[in-house]
Amino acid sequence: MPPRATSSAPGMASKRIKKEITDLSKENLGSIILYPIESNIFQWKSILPGPIGSPYEGGSFEIEITVPEDYPFSPPKLHFITKVYHCNIASTGAICLDLLKHAWSPALSLYKVILSLSSLLTDPNPSDPLVPAIAQEYKRDRKKHDATAREWVKKYALPKSIPPADESKPKSTTSISRPKMINRPSSHTSNSSNNPIPISLPTPPISGIRRPISSRDPIDLASDSENENELNGNSRNGELLNNNNNGNQVESGNGSGNSNPTNGERRVKRSRLNNNGPGSGSGPGGASAGDAIVIDE
């Protein structure tokens, strides 16, 4: 029988727990994980790997441990959080183990209890079952029992592992992915497409033949008013030729070669006649409509 708890049991339990924490740092736990919760040293957690060679191999079983206030005089309370197909472990996680009942001793520790649970997974005790149906299957059809236990391991007890990163893809340097930049058309491009730039076309050349100055007649073109005066003078010369039968000298606006003395800068355009003189034409006074000559610029 475990010793009865005294009034100083909570303080004694704290000292014992702290001692076991120190001893755990010296133990080689292997792949077993056992640690107290920081906020309450009376609450512990353990990760028990499935024993090699057993139907539970490859599994990872989480166990929750509650240490009583009169520890080590009373055994700790353990139950499985992970589901296990086992005749000594109920679906609620309760465990049927002698060490946690009448076989408990204050000399035992939490680490030794976890080792006993690992041995229970390897060698179940169908004689003192917590689930009789599984115990009967274990006795009568061991092969079927082990196959079902492995299926439960795959379904409930596989360890949660981080998937390996794909080496073919470049690793991201930041945790937040940046959005890709969108190439939008610039205002210059849109303006150029909507408003095309006008293209200046070259001025078409003026048709004609340019002659050297030496081959031209020294005749200057006057304004439009001077051309009208010239035509009026030619008509008056024609009338004078018809009225003067005595052979008087015919007046010509451009035959005398005299220019208006008041307009020094303006020179009268001389009319060129086909026969260069009166009486040589076919009309009156030798002037006719065919006497006009177009002068190329």
Looking at the chain, which residues constitute the CATH 3.10.110.10 domain(s)?
A: 9-157
Active site residues: 96
Helix spans in the chain (H): 9-24, 110-122, 132-140, 142-152, 187-194, 224-243
CATH number, span 9-157: 3.10.110.10
HEC string for 220-274: CCCCHHHHHHHHHHHHHHHHHHHHCCCCCCCCCCCCCCCCCCCCCCCCCCCCCCC
Per-residue pLDDT of the chain (297 residues; tens, 9 = 90+): 344 444 455 789 999 999 999 999 998 889 999 999 988 999 999 999 999 999 999 999 999 999 999 999 999 999 999 999 999 999 999 999 999 989 999 999 999 999 999 999 999 999 999 999 999 999 999 999 999 999 999 999 998 765 554 444 444 444 455 555 555 555 444 444 455 555 555 565 555 555 555 555 555 544 445 555 554 555 555 454 455 444 444 344 444 444 444 444 444 444 444 444 444 444 444 444 444 555 554
Phi, psi of 200, deg, nearest 5: -80, 125
C-alpha distances out from residue 67 to 100, 145, 149, Å: 12, 33, 30
Phi, psi of 80, deg, nearest 5: -80, 135
Instruction: State the distance between the two ends of the chain, measured CA to CA, in whole angstroms.
Output: 143
CB 254 within 8 A of CB 271: yes
CB 237 within 8 A of CB 190: no
Please state the pTM of the whole predicted model.
0.53
167 beta partners: none
Side chain identity at 77, as an amino acid letter? K
